[in-house]
């Protein structure tokens, strides 16, 4: 008897949730959305996706060729601006540009998508500057952009959508990438609480592995080899050439397993921007849903055992 009651309540809950999530924000064609990192990957696809839906897209690109290519395949509604998220001057200029375009209407959506994944390697191989290069883009740049544009988002009672990663739940490898994504999670959580009374919703996107420009094997392999060459001979000896080869082999396997369906991620972003009742977190990709998110809730000792199975073994072991 009680089993049937519980099952019925679960079904009703899921139906209610589904119904709420189908309700869209009115007058989308009047909404301005700024997306960072639109040269390629998720940002580029989202810009085209929202433009096709009729929103007023403000696409921030790092390079002029990237901006030109995007404008060639979108409507005249879409406007581009050059933005380097590591430069406070560039952010201030872009903020003034956005304010000029949105006017008193404010900025409905800010999508912090710009990111990088290199330099990445075992922590011991890296320097402080290697960590800084990633943190400046993925975390500090995201924070700087958000703080500058937040008054415009508050004005519209809009949305902030931050792109984190499942690597912000489970730190699978060394370097600044996982650290930056953990930071994005923490910043987003605190911002969501602070913005609640202003009517601003803050959403986090947590993709699994996807094929983008920053995850190409060519870039990852070049990065790995460049870091290895600079290591002290003592460090190289402690890991061994075989460790390097196995790391490159693992990277290749991961790259081949990456999903090429970027729309799984951009659909989450679009829902966060257009739904009356967006989710706090969106997981994109089966690896995120079935592997990394479940792992993130398990005891650390168990997670360490699971993840260490895939790590190559160094030449010098205890």
Question: Is 177 noted as a catalytic residue in this protein?
Answer: yes
pLDDT tens across 293-310, in order?
999 999 999 888 888 887
Treating both helix axes as pointing N-terminal to C-terminal, what angle do 241-257 and 217-230 enclose, rounded to 10 degrees? 160
Going 193 to 85 to 64 to 211, the CA torsion angle's sign is: negative
Q: Which two tokens stand for residue 223?
A: 């990065």
| Tokens of residue 179, six digits | 């650290």
DSSP SS3 for 32: strand
User: What is this structure's pTM?
Assistant: 0.91
Q: Which domains does the chain have, with CATH numbers?
A: 27-211+260-308 (3.40.50.720)
Q: Which residues of the chain have pLDDT under 50?
A: none
Q: Burial of 257 by CB count in 10 Å (0-12 exposed, 13-18 middle, 19+ buried)?
A: exposed
Q: To the nearest 5 percent, what fractions of the chain are helix, strand and coil? A: 60, 10, 25
How many CB atoms are located within 10 Å of the residue 89 CB? Answer: 8
Of 177, 239, 243, 282, the catalytic one is 177
Query: Which pair of tokens denotes residue 246?
Result: 């196995």
Three-class secondary structure of residue 191 per DSSP: helix
The pLDDT value given to residue 19: 62
Q: What residues contact 145, with CB distance under 8 A and at least 6 apart?
A: 36, 83, 85, 91, 110, 112
């Amino acid at each position: 008897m009680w089993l049937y009651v519980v099952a019925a309540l679960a079904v009703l809950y899921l139906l209610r949730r589904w119904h709420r999530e189908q309700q869209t924000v009115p007058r989308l064609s009047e909404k301005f959305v700024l997306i960072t990192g639109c040269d390629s990957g998720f940002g580029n696809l989202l810009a085209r996706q929202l433009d096709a839906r009729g929103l007023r897209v403000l696409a921030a690109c790092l390079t002029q060729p990237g901006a030109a290519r995007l404008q060639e395949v979108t409507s005249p509604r879409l406007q581009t601006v050059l933005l380097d998220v590591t430069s406070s001057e560039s952010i201030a200029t872009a903020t003034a540009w956005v304010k000029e375009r949105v006017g008193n209407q404010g900025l409905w959506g800010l999508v912090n998508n710009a990111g990088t994944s290199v330099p990445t390697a075992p922590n011991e191989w890296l320097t402080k500057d290697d960590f800084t290069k990633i943190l400046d883009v993925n975390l500090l740049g995201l924070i700087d952009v958000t703080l500058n544009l937040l008054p415009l988002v508050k004005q519209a009672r809009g949305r902030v959508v931050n792109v984190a990663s499942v690597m912000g739940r489970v730190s699978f490898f060394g370097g600044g990438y996982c650290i930056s994504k953990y930071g994005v999670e923490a910043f987003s959580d605190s911002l969501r609480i602070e913005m609640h009374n202003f009517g601003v919703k803050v959403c986090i996107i947590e993709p699994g592995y996807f094929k983008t420009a920053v995850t190409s094997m060519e870039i990852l392999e070049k990065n790995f080899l460049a870091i290895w060459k600079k290591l002290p001979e003592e460090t190289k000896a402690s890991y061994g050439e075989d460790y390097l080869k196995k790391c490159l082999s693992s990277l290749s396997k991961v790259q081949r397993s990456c999903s090429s369906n970027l729309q799984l991620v951009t659909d989450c972003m679009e829902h966060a921007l257009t739904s009356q009742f967006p989710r706090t977190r969106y997981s994109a990709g089966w690896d995120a849903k079935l592997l990394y998110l479940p792992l993130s809730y398990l005891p650390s000792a168990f997670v360490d055992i699971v993840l260490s199975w895939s790590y190559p073994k160094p030449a010098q072991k205890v």
